Each structure stands twice: as C-alpha cells, then as structure tokens.
Amino acid sequence: MQKVSFFKSIHVKLVLIYMLLIIIALQIIGIYFSKELEENLKTSFQDSILQRIELVNYSIREEMLKERDDSTPEIETSLSVILKEFSKEDINEIIVSNNHNRILATSEDENQSLIGHRANYEIIRKAISSETLQDSISLDSESGKRVWVLAAPIRDTVGPNGEILGAIYIESNIEKVYEQLNEINRIFAAGIAMSLVITIILGILVARTITRPISDMRKQAQAMSKGNYSRKVRVYSTDEIGQLAIAFNHLTNRLQEAQSTTEAERRKLASVLSNMTDGVIATDRKGKIILINDPALSLLHETRESTLNRPIASLLGLDQEYSFEDLIHMKESVNLDFSMNDAPYVLRANFSVIQKETGFVNGLITVLHDITEQEKIDMERREFVANVSHELRTPLTTMRSYLEALADGAWRDENIAPTFLNVTQTETERMIRLVNDLLQLSKMDSQEYELSMEFVEFNKFFTRIIDRFEMSKSQSVEFIRLLPETSYFVEIDTDKLTQVIDNIISNAMKYSPDGGNVRFGFTVHDNMLRVMISDDGMGIPKENVGRIFDRFYRVDRARARSMGGTGLGLAIAREMIEAHGGKIWAESEEGHGTTVFFTLPYELDETGDWE
Ligand code: ADP
C-alpha cells in the first residue's frame, strides 16, 4: 500500500480546515467590526465638530449683524477673537468669509495676511452658492494627514430660510480617529494571531484523536494484506471512530478465521489431489488448464509450467477429433493411446463438467487413469484364448480326419488302421500334455502350488539328469560336461527343477543336428549359481531370443509342433526358476547354436556342517 504523504494526510487537512475556518470567521468579524467602529468614531467626531459649529455660527452671525460704530471694534477683530477661542487642538484652521467670498477672519496666525482677500476655497463657494453644508475628507498636503474640511453657510436668521451672510470654513484633524482605529485593528490582529496559534495547537490535538485510530487501522489493513492478523487496533474512545475500531478488530478476527479455514481446505484439497493415484486436470470455462495435480503431470510426462493455460484438448492430444465443446458433452470415457512401438501406454480420461445451478458451464474436470496394465492383461488374455483354441484345434482337426478315414472303412485295412490309430493316440497325448502344461501354468498364476524344498548338492543332482539323457538318447549327440569340482548346495523343489532342466536339455537335443555337441556347465556369478546348457543347433534369430520364454511362442511354429512341443515348456521353466529366486535367459546366434542360462541361490559345502 502507498504511504500517505504528509500534506495529503487527514491530520494536516483537518488542521488546515480549522485554521481556514478561524481565519474566515475572524476576518468577517474583523471587517464588520472595524467598519462599524470607523463609522461610529467618525460620526461622533463629526457630531462634536458640528455641535461646536452651531455655536460658533451663532456667535459669528451675531457679530456680523451687529450695528457698528466707532466704539465697536472692527468686525475682523471680533471675529478673530471668536475664532481663536473656538479653535482647539482638533481644529487646524477656521476661516470666515462673507457672502462675496472674501475672507473676514482666520484662526491661523500665519494666514492673517489673507484677510480681505478672496477665499480661494472651492468648498466655500459651493456652500454659499448652494446654501447648504459641504464637507469632504482629504489629505493635508503639508502634514500628509487626513483632514475633514467643512463649509457651512451663515444665515441672518436661525433656520434654513435666512439670507446668506457668508460661510464658515473649518479644517479639522480627523486623522486621530483613524489612528485610534488602526490601534484597535492592531490589537485585533494580535488577537487573531494568538487565536490562530491556539487553534493550530488545539487542531493538532483534536485531529490526532481522530486520525490516530484511522492511521492505526490503515497500518492494520496493510499488515493484513501481508497475512499478519495478529495486530489489533487500539480502541481510544467509544465514539463512532472507537466503534469503527471495534468493528475493524472484529472483522480482522473473522477474516483470520475465514482465511485459516480456506487455507486448511486448500491444503486438504491439495494433499488429496497430489496423493491420488489418478491424474486430475481442471480447466476454466474456455478449456484452458487452471489446475493440474502431480500424478496427471507424471502420467502425461509434462511439467506444470508447460501445461497451465494450455487448451485441454491439445494437452490430451484430442484436438484433431474433439473440440472443447465436444468434451463438455462427452458422456463416455476416452482412451488416450500414447503407445510407442513395443511399449504400450494407454490412459483413460473421464470428463465431468463444473456447472452452476443456472446451467452455465464453469469448467471441466478431467480424471486420468493409467489403464496400460489392464489393457495389456486384456490383450494377453485374448491372445491366450486364441492360442489355446488354436493349439487344441490343430490336433483335433488331425484326429477328426483320421477318425473319419477309419470310419469310412480304413479300420478294415490292417496296414493303415494301426498307423491311423497311432496318430490319433499321439495327438491325444499331445493334447493331454498341453492341458497338463496349461493346468500347471494356471496353478502357478493363481499361486496355488507349493514348492517342497530340499537341500541338495547341485553337482550330483545335475549329473544325474544328464546321465539319464545320455543313456536314453537316440541321436548321435555328444554330451560335454564342464562341471566344477567344488560342491555347491541348493535348496530346491527337485521335481520342479528336474522338469525345467529336462525341458531345456530336450530342446537342446531337439534343435541339434546329428553329431552336434551339447555342453553342460555351471559357474558362480554375483553370489548365484549360473547354470548353462548350450548346443550347436539351428539357433534363434536375435530379435526373438527374449520371446522364447513367452507362452506359446515358437520360432518356427510348424517345425516345433511337429517335434511335439507345446510352446509352454520354457514359459513354465521361467515361472519355476523365478519361484526359486533365480533368473532364466538365452543367448543365441542363428545357425550357430543356443545357450540357455539360469541362476539359483546356493550355499557352499561347509565340510564340518555336512559331515
Ligand atoms: P516347445 O515345446 O515348442 O519346445 P518351448 O517353450 O520349450 O516350447 O520352446 C519355445 C520355442 O523356443 C521353441 O518352439 C523353439 O522355437 C525355441 N527354442 C527353444 N530351445 C531352443 C534351442 N535349443 N534351439 C533353438 N530353438 C529353441
């Protein structure tokens, strides 16, 4: 949040408002007061002068109307006496002129020479001609002070109708009134200044009581926006601001509660989403991804950065077939096939729409589930059923044709009948072998078998099997034994392991040419006994070597079947060896022979222990 600058703060604004209000109020009062005062002072000054003029006017009239003889003094002299008497400190000069505008007397000593001359005063002329009192305030050119000049006509009778005898001119010093006014105004200004200072101090204090809680709340709001809810606003009073502070603290508590609830919910949701095995993707209403959980990222082999904001259809690789609108209305799940060559990888996507009550679509939730295993199992199951049907149908078809031939009369032919019966018997035996092998595998698949373990010396056990084959062999195959002197002990189910080794040796002999060699040996590798049975036979193409342990897999189907194989021997062998904790694999070069290896955990013959 921005910091409030000093001059923009409420505090300063309030103080300024106080000051302005006080200044305006005092100004209005001051102007009104000084105007009234000025008017009053001026009027009372002028009134006092006018009253005195009345008196002097009377005296002058009497003097002017007086009958004169030699004993009476000159009019100028008597007037001069009157004027001198009348002239006081507030009157600068007083002049009397006759109605011809000739000066009869003046109170000013310096101007006595003007007596008898025409009065050069406009105001006197005006007063005589208009027969009314004239006055004006003007500046004295010598002293620069304000003077009130006044000219009043002198009549021969009292009242307005008398004949004009002359005029009286008075120049009074009104400056004193203004000086007094100025003094009062100065006092007033000092009062304003003092009250301003007091107002500012009071204003600052009063404004602080308002702004301090507000500023506290501002700081609190700032702290809250940073996630700190521990602060509390101090409540200074019970007024509206105090109530606001209480409400603010209450709001903080509620917000904190709401925040922690939301946070807890968010964490719960996040942990549910990331601990699910299924991938979850949520989009906004335009189909852009707004949320994707970790399992979805790993299922799609994507990063969060590369997926957020991407259209869902493009992320799932469905943009060619479906629009976002189609996905919203998708009722069934969609299988996403990301299989590469030999590695199958299939995801199932289920869609559900986030909808408001009004039906407005808010987004789409996609749940991804890895169904590769399921698909693989389904495929294997289908393949297995097809294989079994095929394996059974071949001997059955053969048997049917031979039996049909026998039924058609061949049973009477002594030469053919035994051969035909022989074939059907062989095929039946092969079917029995096949069914037995299948049963055995099915038992292994459902873990329904138990190994009856025995502790045997492997050298002897292996030699015994080789001897049996050597004695019963019909081919001219050379057996080469590369067995070590040291005795190794293994814990095995001898029946099951005999079956494994029998199968490997009979394969070696089956696929060996006459005069070929079959080598037997075993060594120790990585704490395991590694058994090896190798032949010089036809070999297996490189790309198929790994597959000979798969059920029903045969390199050359027709040939293998003609040799009586079921295609399950090595598959059973692998299950058995793995059940014993070992591994089985083959190495081969086409045309140059095959070597089958398997490993078994072993114990060394500790002489003391076994004797
Ligand atoms: P089968 O009963 O057909 O022998 P197996 O499971 O024992 O079934 O062997 C699977 C296939 O592996 C055989 O059909 C054969 O094509 C191939 N195979 C096994 N052993 C050898 C070997 N020693 N030399 C060449 N091919 C072999």
Task: Spell out where 49-192 has E strands.
Answer: 91-98, 103-106, 134-139, 146-155, 164-173
- If you take atom 12 of ligand 1, which residue's CA is the nearest one? 548
pLDDT interval class at 2 (50, 70, 90): low
- If you take atom 19 of ligand 1, which residue's CA is the nearest one? 507
What pLDDT, on the 0 to 100 scale, is given for residue 229? 83
Say yes or no to pLDDT of 610 above 70. no
C-alpha span between 369 and 336 (Å, rounded): 10
pLDDT interval class at 186 (50, 70, 90): very high
Say yes or no to pLDDT of 232 above 70. yes
Of the listed ranges 85-94, 335-344, 443-452, the least confidently predicted one is 85-94
CA 546 to ligand 1 center in whole angstroms: 12
Residues 406-417, buried b or exposed e (16+ Cβ, 10 A)?
beeebeeeeeee
List Cα–Cα distances, 117 to 53, 97, 100, 111, 112, in angstroms. 23, 9, 10, 11, 10
List Cα–Cα distances, 566 to 379, 552, 578, in angstroms. 21, 7, 21
- If you take atom 14 of ligand 1, which residue's CA is the nearest one? 554
From 509, 532, 538, 554, the mutation candidate for ligand 1 (largest count of ligand atoms within 8 A of CB) is: 554
- If you take atom 13 of ligand 1, which residue's CA is the nearest one? 554
Tell which atom from ligand 1 comes closest to the C-alpha of 567: 8
Give tens-digit pLDDT for 457-482. 999 999 999 999 999 888 889 999 99
- If you take atom 20 of ligand 1, which residue's CA is the nearest one? 507
Mean pLDDT in residue range 274-285 = 91
- If you take atom 23 of ligand 1, which residue's CA is the nearest one? 508
CA 554 to ligand 1 center in whole angstroms: 6
C-alpha span between 498 and 469 (Å, rounded): 12
Say yes or no to pLDDT of 608 above 50. no
What pLDDT, on the 0 to 100 scale, is given for residue 174? 87
- If you take atom 25 of ligand 1, which residue's CA is the nearest one? 539
Which range has highest mean pLDDT (45-49, 154-158, 205-209)?
Answer: 45-49
List Cα–Cα distances, 478 to 352, 520, 593, in angstroms. 70, 11, 14
From 557, 570, 592, the mutation candidate for ligand 1 (largest count of ligand atoms within 8 A of CB) is: 570
C-alpha span between 245 and 470 (Å, rounded): 104
Mean pLDDT in residue range 197-209 = 86
Mean pLDDT in residue range 386-392 = 89
Give tens-digit pLDDT for 520-578. 999 999 889 999 999 999 899 988 898 999 988 888 877 777 777 788 999 999 999 99
Work out the mean pLDDT of the chain and round it to a whole number. Answer: 88
Q: Domains in the chain, please, with CATH?
A: 11-181 (3.30.450.20), 276-368 (3.30.450.20), 376-445 (1.10.287.130), 454-610 (3.30.565.10)
CA 601 to ligand 1 center in whole angstroms: 25
CA 550 to ligand 1 center in whole angstroms: 10
What pLDDT, on the 0 to 100 scale, is given for residue 507? 92
C-alpha span between 360 and 443 (Å, rounded): 56
Say yes or no to pLDDT of 440 above 70. yes
Q: What is the DSSP string of 276-287?
A: -SSEEEEE-TTS
Mean pLDDT in residue range 44-72 = 84
Ligand 1 pocket list (CB less than 6 A): 503, 507-508, 511, 535, 537-538, 540, 548, 553-556, 560, 565-571, 594
